[in-house]
């Protein structure tokens, strides 16, 4: 799987490179230092997946995700130092098409496999999903067939008490 990395921190990029090196099925296609570079690089060479930081100069990860998904869509996973503290931006990026989010692995952990575990598990799962997709030019087209309208069931309840 070809992966683009978008992060302005040399330490974070090093941690991501170290994590991705643990699995030979991952290949780094390019590294961008900000969102604007990522949009340009994705247009030139769209990877299978982009690891997108949120807080960067020039253009943040939310806007870069929006632009990439509108011009050259691909899988985008938000990778940030603190998911909890950046929850609002994570949800904004997911609203524009990012498919998941994970904390950046650290270089402090002596066991690289342990530090990279959450990221690698996500990427492997996404890789399996991407492998099952059919490329747009190879999709079979068939005449539309009649489909029964879905049934909707709604249930309502109230905890309000009545005063007599």
2-130: CATH class: alpha beta
Higher pLDDT, residue 138 or 117: 117
Q: What confidence score (pLDDT) does residue 140 get? A: 41
Q: What confidence score (pLDDT) does residue 52 get? A: 96
Q: What confidence score (pLDDT) does residue 144 get? A: 45
Start-to-end CA span in the chain (Å) = 67
Q: Render pLDDT for 14-64 as a digit per residue (tens, 0 to 9).
A: 999 999 999 999 999 999 999 999 999 999 999 999 999 999 989 999 999
Q: What is the pTM of this model?
A: 0.77
- The answer to whether 78 and 90 have CB atoms below 8 angstroms apart is yes
Q: What confidence score (pLDDT) does residue 92 get? A: 94
- Domain layout of the chain by residue ranges: 2-130
Q: Could you tell me which residues are beta bridge partners of residue 28? A: 3
Local confidence band at 131 (pLDDT 50, 70, 90 cut-offs): confident
- The answer to whether 74 and 42 have CB atoms below 8 angstroms apart is yes
Please name which of 62, 64, 48, 58 lies closest in space to residue 124, comparing C-alpha atoms.
48
């Amino acid at each position: 799987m070809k992966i683009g990395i978008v992060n302005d921190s040399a330490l974070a990029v090093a941690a991501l490179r170290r994590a991705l090196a643990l699995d030979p099925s991952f290949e780094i296609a390019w590294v961008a230092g900000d969102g604007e570079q990522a949009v340009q690089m994705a247009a030139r060479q769209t990877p299978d997946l982009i690891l997108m930081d949120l807080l960067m100069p020039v253009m943040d990860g939310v806007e870069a995700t929006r632009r990439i998904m509108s011009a050259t869509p691909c899988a985008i996973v938000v990778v940030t130092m603190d998911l909890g503290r950046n929850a609002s931006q994570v949800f904004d990026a997911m609203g524009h098409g990012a498919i998941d989010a994970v904390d950046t692995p650290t270089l402090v952990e002596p066991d690289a496999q342990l530090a990279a575990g959450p990221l690698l598990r996500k990427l492997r799962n996404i890789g399996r999903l991407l492998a099952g997709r059919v490329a747009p030019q190879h999709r079979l087209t068939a005449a539309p067939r009649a489909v029964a309208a879905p049934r909707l069931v709604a249930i309502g309840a109230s905890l309000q008490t009545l005063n007599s």
